[in-house]
Amino acid sequence: MNTYGFYGLGLIGGSLAKSIRKIDPNCRIIACSRSMDTCRTALNAGLIDDICHGPDDPAYLSCGMIFLCAPAEMNIEALPHIKKVLSSDCILTDVGSVKTPIHEAVEKLGLSSMFIGGHPMAGSEKSGIVNSTDHMFENAYYILTPTDQVSALKLERLRSFVLKLKALPMVLDPRQHDFITAAISHLPHVIAASLVNTVHDLDSEEEYMKTIAAGGFRDITRIASSSPQMWESICVENYSNISKVMDTFLDHMIEARDKMCEGDGGYINRMFEKSRDYRDSFSFESRGPVKKSYRIYCDIIDESGAIATIATVLAVNGISIKNISIIHNRSYEQGALAIEFYEEEPMKQSIALLRHHRYTVWEND
């Protein structure tokens, strides 16, 4: 029987535990967390089998894999304690968004032969074990950052485990990882927060900006709802890489501002053309650091019962709706009704159903 250990049971830790229980139902899972209530909730739900009373609990000696899923600074603080309860064949890994600091701590403690950094490129703007799922990692890149001293056998064990999660393992150097995520994950969160704060600072007392905001503004600022504590930690830990990427971004912003002020339409056209072509070359089949949303837009006539009719069509066919809302700003959306789903397959079924009922439907890209 395989035994897995967890230090921390938040969104990612909870989702990992649920995924493990799904793929290996007869396994044993033990855990400790900052909140004893979280552990008791997980225990009562059958998600874990035993509660550990700290990172140096002797129960961890039975684990083949231990996942560090607490905030990054807590993971690092726990390392000297966990070192006391690691069996020789155990794989110690984490799920943090920044890899260099924990790799440095691991090396100082002489744990390099045990540690493989991990970063599942999946998540949500929501936090906590209550928002965890057993399919969080499906089709998501799962970055592995092995140390120079860890064995190829341990790396292959963890890579095989990631494949069982239906995730896509990718092996990177930890410093390379931190630069890449600074560009495609960390800076976008800073930009989203800054854009929201810009509107906040410029809005009138009547809050017209807030009232009208929708479409593109809503989509590119959704991640501004993420955990402030988590992003404080990420930005402080990876400040060097984020600042380098931010310098390039600011250069683009300043040049765009200057060219607009000069009336250089040709530059503006080329800027949007270049970004469109590059963005259209991306593959969005797998989830990146920002969880993909499954949303469609439907044209409806503003009449009594219109929304209820659509909801009934979907409900009768067993399709669950995550969210449904009326669009009052149609600058970026084609339909008056936005419908969001938990998964891609129900979204596709809904498109076919609604089109069969002669509704005009657009899929969110």
pLDDT in tens, 107-145: 999 999 999 999 998 876 677 888 888 888 888 899 999
Beta bridge pairs of residue 169: 142
Task: Check whether 333 has a pLDDT greater than 50.
Answer: no
Q: Higher pLDDT residue, 215 or 68?
A: 68
294, containing H or E segment: strand 294-298
pLDDT in tens, 161-202: 999 998 999 999 999 999 999 999 999 999 999 999 999 999
How far is CA 207 from each of CA 210, 215, 330, 333, 340, rounded to the nearest angstrom? 5, 17, 19, 22, 26
Q: What pLDDT, on a 0 to 100 scale, did the predictor assign at position 291?
A: 55
Q: What pLDDT, on a 0 to 100 scale, did the predictor assign at position 125?
A: 63
pLDDT in tens, 234-266: 999 999 999 999 999 999 999 999 999 999 999
Q: What pLDDT, on a 0 to 100 scale, did the predictor assign at position 283?
A: 63
Q: What pLDDT, on a 0 to 100 scale, did the predictor assign at position 326?
A: 72
- Tally the C-alpha atoms within 13 A of residue 335's C-alpha that lie toward its C-beta: 21
Task: Check whether 316 has a pLDDT greater than 80.
Answer: yes
Give 287's DSSP letter. Answer: B
Q: Higher pLDDT residue, 359 or 154?
A: 154
- Tally the C-alpha atoms within 13 A of residue 50's C-alpha that lie toward its C-beta: 15
Q: What pLDDT, on a 0 to 100 scale, did the predictor assign at position 250?
A: 97
pLDDT in tens, 265-304: 999 999 999 999 998 887 655 455 455 678 888 877 666 7
Q: What pLDDT, on a 0 to 100 scale, did the predictor assign at position 186?
A: 94
Distance, in Å, from the CA atom of 265 to the CA atom of 123, rounded to the nearest integer, reads 39
CB 31 within 8 A of CB 7: yes
Question: What CATH architecture applies to the domain 3-174?
Answer: 3-Layer(aba) Sandwich (3.40)
Spans of all domains in the chain = 3-174, 178-280, 294-363
Q: What pLDDT, on a 0 to 100 scale, did the predictor assign at position 215?
A: 63
Q: Give long-range contacts, CB 8 A cutoff, 24+ apart: 249-257.
A: 249/187, 249/191
Q: What pLDDT, on a 0 to 100 scale, did the predictor assign at position 329?
A: 45
- Cβ count near 134 (within 10 Å): 18
Q: 294-363 adopts what CATH topology?
A: Alpha-Beta Plaits (3.30.70)
- Cβ count near 139 (within 10 Å): 14
Stated pTM of the model: 0.76
Q: What pLDDT, on a 0 to 100 scale, did the predictor assign at position 284?
A: 57
pLDDT in tens, 21-35: 999 999 999 999 988
Q: What pLDDT, on a 0 to 100 scale, did the predictor assign at position 364?
A: 63
Closest CA to 80 of 62, 116, 53, 54: 54
Class in CATH terms, 178-280 = mainly alpha
pLDDT in tens, 55-108: 999 999 999 999 999 989 999 999 999 999 999 999 999 999 999 999 999 999
Task: Check whether 330 has a pLDDT greater than 80.
Answer: no
Q: What pLDDT, on a 0 to 100 scale, did the predictor assign at position 12?
A: 92
Task: Check whether 224 has a pLDDT greater than 90.
Answer: no
How far is CA 19 from each of CA 4, 48, 124, 136, rounded to the nearest angstrom? 12, 12, 16, 8
Q: What pLDDT, on a 0 to 100 scale, did the predictor assign at position 327?
A: 63
With tokens 């989702």, the residue in question is 15
3-174 matches 178-280 in fold: no
Distance, in Å, from the CA atom of 144 to the CA atom of 176, rounded to the nearest integer, reads 11
Distance, in Å, from the CA atom of 38 to the CA atom of 29, rounded to the nearest integer, reads 14
**DSSP secondary structure letters along 118-164:** EEES---SS-SGGG--TTTTTTBEEEEEE-SSS-HHHHHHHHHHHHH
How far is CA 121 from each of CA 58, 124, 134, 265, rounded to the nearest angstrom? 31, 10, 15, 38
